Structure 1
Amino acid sequence: MRVVSIALVAVALIAFTAGSRASAQTNTDQRLLSLAQLWGNIRYFDPWLAHQNVDWDAAALSAIPQVERASSASDFSSAVERMLAALNDPLTQVAAPSPSPSAAPSAGPDLGLAFASPNVRTAVLTVNSNAMASADDEPLKTRAAKIAVQLASRRSVIIDLRQAVPESDDGAAAVDWLLGESRVGTAIVYGDVSLPVYRRRYYNGLPEATPAGYPIYHGGFISDDVTIVRGTAPGPLNVAFLVNHNTILPDLAVALLQAGKAVALADGPSPALSAGDADSVTLADGVTARLRVSELTDIGPTQTFAQPLPAGAHAAEVAADWLDHHTIAPVQFAPPPTPTASAAPPQSAGLPDEAHRIFAVFKIYNVIRYFFPYRNLMGTDWNAATLRAIGDARAATDERGYIATIRRYYAHIHDGHGSVTGPAVSELYGGGMPWTSRYLHGEVVVTEITDPLECQRAGVRLGDVVTAVDGLPVQRALNEHAPFVNGSTPQGVFRNLLAGGFTAGIFTGLPGSAISVTLRHARSTTRFTARFRRIEMSSRHPRTGAIVRVLPGDVGYVDLDRLPLAGVDAMFSKLRQTRAIVFDDRGYPNGTAWAIAPRLTAANEVRAATIEQIMALGPYLQEGELDFSQSFRTDYQMLPAANGFRYLRPTVMLLDERTISQAEHTALFFSAAGRTKFVGTPTDGANGDITKFVIPGNLALAFSGLSVRYADGRQLQRVGILPDIRSEPTAQDVAMGRDVVLEAGLKEALQLSGAPSASQLSALHQLQSIDRLEFVRENQTLQRTAALERVELDNVGKPLPGATGAHPLASGWGKAYPAAFAASTGAAGSTAPQIALSSKDAGDEDYGTVGQSFDATAYRGKCVHIFGVLQTTGAPSGGAVWARVDGPSGPVSIDNMSDRMPRGTQPWQPFSIVLNVPPDAAAIVVGLMLFGHGEVAADRLMIEPVPADMPPSQAM
């Protein structure tokens, strides 16, 4: 067994002032931090956890309150010892204190190696491991070399490895050297023998605990190479190792036992084979623990391997007699258990208890420490942030406070992919505004209307500037929320501060809760206050207009946010003769970069990006001047082969803070292709396929799992793609419907293509005229939509104007799914509801549904209106009617009432669902759904076709 000593705690201990409660709490948190480090080292790198039935999470949860109660280093050591005892591993344990100088055994003149030869055939080597010097001690090397020479003429060799006290780490390392690297080892081997092979755990990124996780993130075992010892013994030898319960068997002894070239004779209880390497780590209060970091590939742990030493006054003589009268047989070691994948334990919602809240910090700390590829770019003291998070987690008294603690802590990674999601987050922060806003020129500007009716009622227009939220000046609101928001760059933080979708933004909150927002129109200084109920807005609102078109000046335009992969060839065909192309990357593409970029260059071997993947091969340690930290595997991503003709004319790409992740990767591809110029503002600065993990409270945390850089190695994360030409709209530009970024992109494309100045000016004027006309049409559409929404709102649960042929929804309900839910239907004329769905034995996080499907032919080219009444009973997570329209290739529209779902116990209330039914629609599906416990019921269900221009209610 090999032992490496490392220092685990990288934080300076804060001096403890007697009688100071604050200092005592600080000391407790330091202990918890070092416990977190130890837990993480074992969680990810102890091979036992891959095949032993050990609930390591539960061990930490049990230890946390013990550490919090600890009033001394001894108490802390006992808590650590109890946690390690869950492993039942002789290698992983709290180390005994080092003996004092007076108690330490003296090496004496033999340097811990006593050699005797009772006769010409037999040699006895007594090893006092705790008295031996280190392997680099020259006198020890000289003595070992002399002993090796003396062994050459012997036929029987007895090596006494019995120890009076447990072997220290240094002692075990000295014996490994003696029988591994010194000439004594080869002197007791006749022929060749293979040393046992060690294996240890490794990770390429953090594997997700769900089947949907990215396959590029995985882990397993990596084995050392086979080491063969070439023996120098001139003839066959009889070798006996004398052992006792304090002996740690060296690798060469294990190899000789396996090969039938040695026997182990136990004086008293037989020691268990440790079968692996250990690291020695120092925790808070100077407590030292040893932890397993490897195991043997073909020998299981904790096996006995020795035969009883026969009785006798002189052990060496008894061993020699045993060798004279017995034939040595190979020891048949059992292999280690097969590694098994452990399922992630179920996570319950609600506020976790204090131990679970602190354990959540443990998990986050270690995942980021070992698997976040941008740890060097965090710009924060992760240990210090963790100490604060431990205190905040302890103080949290409700779900909101707990989520705030996790968000504040997790924001220290500064990653645009760093999200915190879960049922509680959706419930508490799922409500937002009826508009989308951006941070432009230091102002919060309304840039998109998502609910025309609500905005019309409040007098909110495009280009309006937010000046206060709930009476708080907007800049102060941004500053107060910023510590809880993850973001790679300042523009990324602002993006998330203003986003909906369950972020810790300035507008988000409980759906249905009240919020007041003070605004001013773009060309006015007069302020007005609008009051809203937060609504659930989960759908994306992409740009309108043609996805591919020709702009004035014969310049192509492509909206990458909406261009499907199947449309790439048609796009190139349509724009083949244009003088340049403007690619709009202000959104999220559909995987088209791999098909487009290779066709923008004449080269065939183009390096597009540098990909660095975390390779975690063992606990991080510091030994001497060496600091073992993150390791990476570097790959260079090449552009694929071009599939079609190449477009070698100028290209321009439009960017802003909405350009993130795959959109930024698309920019890397276009940059590598050669001529693409970037216009707009810096991108979000977050790239690298995400991976996720779950913490108590059923919160899922995501982060960038890969490091992605430019092809030449330049940094992207926390910087973003920087534009060649900067262009940013003002509030007045938005209010006028001007896309100044597109104008700048067109201007750059015309200049790159050599268009005359007069042609450039003419094309820009034409584009501005087109944009103004389009803006007028969009405003008219918004006004019409608001009017129709008002009609819908006034007729919830009733037929809509223009409807034809309203009729009851037929029976034909299927069975409830899954089995934890039950459906019931009411017979005609009965008082029972038409359809009800209830929980039988469903858990808080379970989801049940029942539905029916019917042909969509009668509704094609129109909208379908489904209405009736709905009630919930004892359903805290809610229930609703849902409807879906399916096309030839799958769902095309769906409304699950997520923005208006009743929760708890609600009386009968009307509802309406309106969905678009395209001309090729195949089926319409209607059903009930229920989250968790309780019952949801629907009655008086009706269905009718309505005009195609009726605004859909779809929330997804």
Structure 2
Amino acid sequence: MGAEKRRSMRVFVFFSVLLVIIITGCFASQDSNQIAKEKELLLDTGSEMKLSNLSEQKIMDLAKLGKVWGVVKYYHPKVVSGEINWDEELFRIMPSILAEDSDVNSILYKWVHSLGSESIPGKLTTEYHYPEDSIQLSPTTDWCNDEKYLGKDLSLELSKLLESNIVKREHAYVSFKDDSPYPSMANENLYYGMKFDDTSYRLLGLFRYWNIIEYYYPYKDVIGEDWDHVLMEFIPKFFNGSDYDSYFMTIAELTTRIHDSHVYLLGKNRGAITTVADYFGTYSLPVNIIEINNQIVISKVINNCGLEVGDIVLKVSGKSIDEVLEDRRKYISQSREDTSGLFFSASVRTHQKNTDVTVIRRGNKMNISAVGSPQNIVFMIDTKSQELENGEIYYINAGLLKDGEIDKIMNDWWNTKGLILDLRNYPASEIAHTLAQYLIPSKKEFAWMSFPNPVIPGEFYYLMPNVSGKHQDNKDEELYKGKLVMLINEHTISHGELTTMSLRNAENSIVLGRPTAGADGDAVSFYLPGNIKTGISGFGVFDPEKKPTQRVGVQPDIRLDPTIEGLMEGRDEYIEKAVELIKQGN
């Protein structure tokens, strides 16, 4: 297939799957092909390497091993083709690296050189050669040319690999199925039978995660961390510990260092599915919380538990709320401070059903014996879509929409003064493009997307701008003349953020509320050793000027913070303000 046809196919696939959210999935290995299954059989019994102490030199040696292992994993033809089980090779080389007074550079050179370099293509086809202004992120592989760090022989060997430019990757640890721009990591091995006191397996988990971020994370440049330093820091953390819980929670801590609210972590221990939140307690206080003026406030009571809306939380189970939040932040990844939905729910997890909670209620400090629930508690705006102000305004709850409902709403409420679109819930239906057809006169770009270059691990390119608005065929159709007010806050994430970016191009739009979560781009999932599933933001999303939205969020036109008084009175101040703005007109 010619270069143009292949590019067109990738663009077609991109728009076909753009809005399919890949967040969860079952714990099964059917995603892995037969080659991956055969690979796993070689290692499922374990390496039996159990160590407890590391010198500073050995930490540096292992970090070098992890980096070399990663670049070979994604660049060498024999590994990419599936011919070599690269996990197994890591286990084989690790004892030599850990030996006292080992010549690490020499060991690594012989190891890599033994794979052979005669099959390295060394030519980048025009199809995958993107102009400089189309490159969003470049590989950080300069260290491969550092002879002082690697020695001349190893540096030369790795430098050759960087020119491999391999197109066929169906059996690689990261593949691109059917010319999709989305990376698939289905060929990674799950290792159900992992022994959690096996040091090799634990380090494999670290090296796998670290290199996936190094080469396939579109926001590596904005995580705000020295990623090499993170590798060094976590080698002893993964070395220590001998059971599932310590391994799982160390992975959780590692995921926080990419600062991505798309991150989740699911494990399966002793037959039960586990999440990070499970480690904070079996019970959840059946409430929603919100931060107002640096205070943690109960914003909604879901079940009667002794707490009331408007309570300012001071302590939970004898710990100050600041201490509780700090503990949760250590294990729950957040794009921005306190913007992960999981973070909010985990903050009210407890180990006992009845928990002492110290609050300030109407100016009085008191201790409440709060009753927890075994059910997971999630944030939800449950106000139903409805007419307001005697039919002059229509309120739309994006989280409760059904497919096709927008068309009916626009038909029935075409002559209203304004629409209120509540994006504080995750949209249940695609509206970024469907609603835009009624509001924006012609196609207008609202975001750029970036995807990994399949043949150059570590490089991301801008595919093309995402546009929304009226189709050319319908350009003569009338536009909705009322005002659109969109409600956003820290719970507006991913598709909700993309929707806001699209619809704010409408001439009569206002974005009201607080900055969004700052985690955009469909989540890409993968497994770590021990059948632990996690996810990251899988492609980049940027504003029309190609500035990042990750860790920044979509900013409101008008900032609005709810008040404790408003909560206690049962008012939704967001909706009230939106009504006021619409009634003011232009």
Same fold (TM over 0.5): yes
Look up the match of 2:531: 698
SS at match of 1:664: helix
Letter in 1 for 2:583: L
Look up the match of 1:440: 292
Larger-Rg structure? 1
Look up the match of 2:66: 36
Q: % of aligned pairs identical?
A: 21
Q: For residues 72-471 of structure 1, what are the structure 2 equivalents within 5 Å?
A: 72-74=101-103, 76-77=104-105, 79-80=107-108, 83-84=111-112, 89-91=115-117, 198=122, 282=147, 286=151, 288-289=153-154, 290-291=157-158, 293=161, 340=171, 343-348=187-192, 351=196, 353-424=198-269, 425-426=274-275, 428=279, 431-452=283-304, 455=305, 459-471=306-318
Q: After superposition, give the CA deviation of every residue in 1:724-781 in whole Å (9 maximum; x if it has no partner).
A: 2221212332222111111111112222x24xxxxxxxxxxxxxxxxxxxxxxxxxxx
Q: Structure 1 CA distance, aligned partners of 2:536 and 2:354? A: 31
SS at match of 2:347: coil
SS at match of 1:612: strand
Cα offset for 1:81?
5.6
RMSD: 3.4
Distance 1:570 1:741, change over 3 A: same
Q: After superposition, give the CA deviation of every residue in 1:860-904 in whole Å (9 maximum; x if it has no partner).
A: xxxxxxxxxxxxxxxxxxxxxxxxxxxxxxxxxxxxxxxxxxxxx
Letter in 2 for 1:546: K
Q: After superposition, give the CA deviation of every residue in 1:29-64 in whole Å (9 maximum; x if it has no partner).
A: 111111111111111111212335311011112323
Q: After superposition, give the CA deviation of every residue in 1:46-103 in whole Å (9 maximum; x if it has no partner).
A: 12123353110111123234323x22242x3465367548xx523399xxxxxxxxxx
Conserved 8 A contact 1:47-1:295 = yes
SS at match of 1:356: helix
Q: Structure 2 CA distance, aligned partners of 1:605 and 1:712? A: 17
Indicate yes or no: 2:331 matched with 1:484.
yes
Q: Structure 2 CA distance, aligned partners of 1:337 and 1:615? A: 13
Q: Structure 1 CA distance, aligned partners of 2:248 and 2:126? A: 32
Cα offset for 1:422?
2.0
Look up the match of 1:571: 409
Conserved 8 A contact 1:660-1:687 = yes
Q: Would you tell me which structure has more helix in proportion to its own residues?
A: 2
Q: After superposition, give the CA deviation of every residue in 1:289-320 in whole Å (9 maximum; x if it has no partner).
A: 224636799xxxxxxxxxxxxxxxxxxxxxxx
Q: For residues 653-672 of structure 1, what are the structure 2 equivalents within 5 Å?
A: 653-672=486-505
Distance 1:615 1:653, change over 3 A: same
Cα offset for 1:718?
1.2
Indicate yes or no: 2:426 matched with 1:585.
no
Q: After superposition, give the CA deviation of every residue in 1:652-677 in whole Å (9 maximum; x if it has no partner).
A: 11111010000000000111233311
Cα offset for 1:596?
0.2
Q: For residues 589-668 of structure 1, what are the structure 2 equivalents within 5 Å?
A: 589=427, 590-602=429-441, 604-615=442-453, 617-618=455-456, 630-639=459-468, 641-642=470-471, 645-668=478-501
Q: Structure 2 CA distance, aligned partners of 1:36 and 1:444? A: 41
Q: Structure 2 CA distance, aligned partners of 1:203 and 1:657? A: 40
Cα offset for 1:382?
0.8
The number of equivalent residue pairs is 490
Look up the match of 2:343: 497
Look up the match of 1:71: 100
After TM superposition, the score normalised by the length of structure 1 is 0.47
Q: For residues 526-925 of structure 1, what are the structure 2 equivalents within 5 Å?
A: 526-532=365-371, 535-537=374-376, 542-551=380-389, 554-589=392-427, 590-602=429-441, 604-615=442-453, 617-618=455-456, 630-639=459-468, 641-642=470-471, 645-751=478-584, 753-754=585-586
Conserved 8 A contact 1:586-1:655 = yes
Q: Structure 2 CA distance, aligned partners of 1:283 and 1:732? A: 64
Conserved 8 A contact 2:287-2:298 = yes
SS at match of 1:561: helix
Distance 1:509 1:471, change over 3 A: closer
Q: After superposition, give the CA deviation of every residue in 1:791-813 in whole Å (9 maximum; x if it has no partner).
A: xxxxxxxxxxxxxxxxxxxxxxx
Letter in 2 for 1:72: D
1:507 to 320, 344, 348: 348
Conserved 8 A contact 1:681-1:722 = yes
Look up the match of 1:319: none
Q: Would you tell me which structure has more strand in proportion to its own residues?
A: 1
Letter in 2 for 1:656: N
After TM superposition, the score normalised by the length of structure 2 is 0.75
Distance 1:370 1:729, change over 3 A: same
Q: Structure 1 CA distance, aligned partners of 2:379 and 2:253? A: 29
Distance 1:472 1:339, change over 3 A: closer
Conserved 8 A contact 1:553-1:750 = no
Could you say which structure has the greater relative contact order, defined with CA pairs below 8 angstroms and 6 or more residues apart?
2
Unaligned runs of 5+ in 1: 1-21, 94-195, 205-278, 298-335, 500-504, 620-628, 755-956
Q: Structure 2 CA distance, aligned partners of 1:665 and 1:46? A: 37
Q: Structure 1 CA distance, aligned partners of 2:445 and 2:165? A: 41
Q: Structure 1 CA distance, aligned partners of 2:54 and 2:376? A: 47
Conserved 8 A contact 1:616-1:631 = no
Letter in 2 for 1:71: E
Letter in 1 for 2:70: G
Q: Structure 2 CA distance, aligned partners of 1:356 and 1:66? A: 16
Cα offset for 1:368?
0.8
Distance 1:630 1:199, change over 3 A: closer
Q: Structure 2 CA distance, aligned partners of 1:202 and 1:528? A: 69
Conserved 8 A contact 1:389-1:406 = no
Conserved 8 A contact 2:263-2:536 = yes
Q: Structure 2 CA distance, aligned partners of 1:515 and 1:386? A: 40
Q: Structure 1 CA distance, aligned partners of 2:232 and 2:536? A: 21
Q: Structure 1 CA distance, aligned partners of 2:392 and 2:207? A: 58
SS at match of 1:436: strand
Distance 1:564 1:646, change over 3 A: farther
1:50 to 80, 96, 120: 80
Q: Structure 1 CA distance, aligned partners of 2:490 and 2:127? A: 32
SS at match of 2:408: helix
Q: Structure 1 CA distance, aligned partners of 2:336 and 2:169? A: 45
Q: Structure 1 CA distance, aligned partners of 2:373 and 2:91? A: 38
SS at match of 2:100: coil
Cα offset for 1:363?
1.0
Distance 1:537 1:52, change over 3 A: closer
Unaligned runs of 5+ in 2: 1-51, 129-143, 174-186
Q: Structure 2 CA distance, aligned partners of 1:704 and 1:51? A: 26
